[in-house]
């Protein structure tokens, strides 16, 4: 099902094998003035086909669906529709799936008990350069980063990937979902300086966006 496109609104496609879940999310999103519900799919395969027609800004993807594995689904969708941001909706976050979904290309990872208002903020946030991750997963990320910082610091003061201490500090804040302005206020520099550091981080580790930067460090930590 497709509605007319409104440029000022965030276009959202909902993917879940449960009709009640899809309809519930649809009902809420259609009440938001900043969001446009453009369609729904009951499988990852269907979502991939619909995305080509609907061109959604954000895809809300159920983590556990029959058929194509969610990790493979994310890779497939991002390969064909790289501009669509993917937020994974999960039942829990007690294993490696959150990290695998981020590595595959998802921009957000939230639990299904999220409030409607926070889900709306997540949808709007990923379109403004933020990475939305459930607090439990964020804590795990922060601990992994801190451990990595201690173990990977070289004698010349640089970190994994040739990052400086300041760049690694900014990368840690990015993991928490902080905006450029929030990072600037935290480390007492201008947003222009933060943007410059982020460009340097991306260049050094070969990342195209914040999520890929976070995944890079996680992946190297897991390999270690």
Residue 158 reports pLDDT greater than 80:
no
- What lies within 8 Å, CB to CB, of 25 at 6+ separation is 14, 16, 60, 119
Q: 21 versus 218: which is more confidently predicted? A: 21
Say how many CA atoms lie within 13 Å of 111 toward its Cβ: 11
Q: What is the pLDDT of residues 124-155, one digit of tens each?
A: 888 877 777 777 777 766 666 666 556 555 54
What is the three-class DSSP state of 56?
Answer: coil
Mean pLDDT of 186-204: 90
Are 31 and 55 within one domain?
Answer: yes
Whether 153 contacts 159, CB under 8 Å: yes
Least confidently predicted of 45-54, 136-145, 202-211: 136-145
The count of domains in the chain is 2
Q: Which of 112, 133, 154 is the last residue of a domain?
A: 133
Are 124 and 141 within one domain?
Answer: no
Q: In which band, very low, low, confident or very high, does the pLDDT at 68 lie, cut at 50, 70 and 90?
A: confident
Reference 110, options 79, 93, 134; nearest CA is 134
Structural domain for 45, as ranges: 10-133
Give one DSSP letter per residue of 92-151, joined into a string.
---SSHHHHHHHHT-SEEEETT--HHHHHHHHHHHTTT--EE-HHHHHHHHHHHHHHHHH
Are 218 and 121 within one domain?
Answer: no
Are 32 and 128 within one domain?
Answer: yes
Whether 161 contacts 204, CB under 8 Å: yes
pTM score, two decimals? 0.68
């Amino acid at each position: 099902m497709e509605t007319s496109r409104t440029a000022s609104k965030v276009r959202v496609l909902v993917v879940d094998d449960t009709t009640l879940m899809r309809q519930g999310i649809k009902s809420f999103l259609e009440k938001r003035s900043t969001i446009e519900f453009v369609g729904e799919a009951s499988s990852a395969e269907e979502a991939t086909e619909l995305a080509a027609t609907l061109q959604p800004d954000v895809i809300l993807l159920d983590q556990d669906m029959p058929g194509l594995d969610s990790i493979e689904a994310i890779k497939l969708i991002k390969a064909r529709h790289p501009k669509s941001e993917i937020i994974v909706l999960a039942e829990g976050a007690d294993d490696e799936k959150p990290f695998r979904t981020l590595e595959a290309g998802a921009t957000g990872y939230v639990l299904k008990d999220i409030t409607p208002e926070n889900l709306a903020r997540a949808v709007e946030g990923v379109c403004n350069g933020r990475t939305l991750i459930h607090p439990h997963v964020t804590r795990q990320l922060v601990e992994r980063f801190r451990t990595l910082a201690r173990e990977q610091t070289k004698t010349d003061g640089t970190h994994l990937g040739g990052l400086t201490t300041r760049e690694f500090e900014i990368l840690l804040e990015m993991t928490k979902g902080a905006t450029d302005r929030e990072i600037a206020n935290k480390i007492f520099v201008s947003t222009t300086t933060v943007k410059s550091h982020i460009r340097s981080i991306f260049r050094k580790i070969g990342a195209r966006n914040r999520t890929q930067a976070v995944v890079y460090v996680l992946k190297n930590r897991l390999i270690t």
